[in-house]
Structure 1
């Protein structure tokens, strides 16, 4: 995001995912382990993999598990370039906006999903906690919920258009994996506007939250 807005937390953008054993610029990449076989393990690029800067300050590590997932949209352009490299470039811009312009200690969201379906760790240590299924790093994506909700940014603006199929599929699978790892019920997936006075995640994406819960539950059920 660039600058905080009255009706929106701020503008975020981007996300990336790499295949197993691949890294960008020599950065480390790892994928999360399978806690329960019924949910496939998503491929996720960690912060080192996309060349994130180190946090400017200490991040608050929490021992309590999150109890919900909050869905956001970046409110950025619905770009046609859905390549991996484009997602990497955007991920770096997000961190620049959050740290250098907003004055935050790191990217505010825990994870981001690009329009091409790539999944990226946002805030440092988010992926380690998710892998372990234990605790979380305090986020900066939703005042009042940063110590209890995993924030997932979805690249694009969804007031009038549907999210791309690649993004939607990744969102469903990633939410299912997150629910499995933390023992979160599929019914505990919400839109940003459910807790904050904002238009995020856009009318179209927000209206798809019930469908998201249903599809996540199907993945959790192994169907």
Structure 2
């Protein structure tokens, strides 16, 4: 009579429970792929640790993944999926700069929302997509908590705002005039200034390249990968 290893069964059961708890499903697809998918969800966490009940993306976790994907010869392209409310400005800009400086093709997809500092991340790839029902909120940089009312404080905010504006306009087709107009528009947001744009409008303003979903994103990324292989020896952007 064949004997079973109870410890092996327990390990399998524990793995299944962990998968259900972490991913909400009993099995995860195992596919060797040349495409790396990264998600930017919840609130972008920077120098301050947010409360545990907040869904966050920690920039100190994202940056090593970007470095690893850039160095891994098996990875030929990247998809960055966003559903974020924004967060720390410097952390968001750091992630956006890392994505924009990668030599491998990158395509971004805004699902649900790409608000606030999520906007620079959304435009950082070689090509950007947005779901038809997704939204993006463009507004001036704010400081939470106590603000010291001295000229240097406002100069600092202005310089930081200029950094965001310069990055967005240089990595998308929106003009600086239009971006600032959307940013300081009144009446769009309750008790505040700024603009929320939806799918088609984001494309109309030149903020995002096209409306689409995961199918269009994969098709575009595969095309960029093939183009890279044909135009640059060894497949590396020069």
What TM-score, normalized by structure 2, do the two folds share?
0.29
Structure with the larger strand share: 2
Structure with the larger helix share: 2
Where relative contact order (Cα < 8 A, 6+ residues apart) is larger, the structure is 1
What TM-score, normalized by structure 1, do the two folds share?
0.31
